[in-house]
Structure 1
């Protein structure tokens, strides 16, 4: 039986929480925050918030995985979730919490891991690798948020 692999990262973003959530919920913008190994990001349906469907590819140690993610907003303005419609079991959750004039953003992902020795190795390597990727994603989000603030001044 496969076990869940979980990875996360969080960062304070230099913009109000409402703005940050809006950036994340807009799939046209969201694509620019994804660092390599994500690529070939496509919007298949919608484009903003719940009901959107996006697809992308991600390079991993095991090759390339194609994902088709359905977007939901369990708590609009606070929680955005992307769930793989395929067999990976991948769920990426973005939580935005007001933090004064800034926002605390946490990315958490969970997916069905491999079994056996491969699963053991994956349970050690994947969370660290994904954490580094999510740190880069949050850095890109912060850079975009700061650009938007600079454009207003």
Structure 2
């Protein structure tokens, strides 16, 4: 088995604490960030940051659905770690200042041990591309959620 890693980054025009609060709000905001590949989202414990437990299904392909029971931890400032109780899948969200006071850089990184054999070969080949596209949409949704609206021209 080999480790598979997927990472996506985005600059966001909002204060780091605002960005972090949005992703740490697993009750209200976080589910709005998730595109159609995530279904059956349910908060099972908590709802804010560390100690939260959520269930969801990730539809990586039409045939491949992964059920995840994610336990949330906050090991460092503005860092959330989601560990799947059912597998080796771990996703880390990190928010850092990026220049000015109202600029942030968010990184989402997922790692897991792939399956063996031919199935694992295709997983290592295709899963990172698919998941990267999913994360690009999550980060775009996050930016739309927290960036101030542009003033309307008259």
Normalising by structure 1, report the TM-score.
Answer: 0.91
Deviations 1:52-110 (A, max 9, x none): 0001011123422211000000113x210100011x21101001011122110000001
Shift of 1:39: 1.1
- For residues 54 and 96 of structure 2, what CA distance do their matches in structure 1 show? 24
Matched, 1:53 2:57: no
The DSSP-based 3-state class of the residue aligned with 2:88 is coil
Tell me the CA shift for residue 121 of structure 1.
Answer: 1.5
CA RMSD of the aligned region, Å?
A: 1.3
If each structure's helix is expressed as a fraction of its own residues, which one has the higher value? 1
Question: What's the CA shift string for 1:40-59, capped at 9, x where partnerless?
Answer: 11000000010000010111
What does 1:25-40 correspond to in 2, within 5 Å? 25-28=24-27, 29-40=29-40
- Structure 2: distance between partners of 1:53 and 1:36: 20
| C-alpha deviation, 1:150, in angstroms | 3.6
Alignment length, in residue pairs?
146
2:85 corresponds to which residue? 85
Q: How does 1:56-135 map to 2 (within 5 A)?
A: 56-61=56-61, 62-76=63-77, 78-86=78-86, 88-99=87-98, 100=100, 101-135=102-136
Q: Which runs of 5+ in 2 are unaligned?
A: none
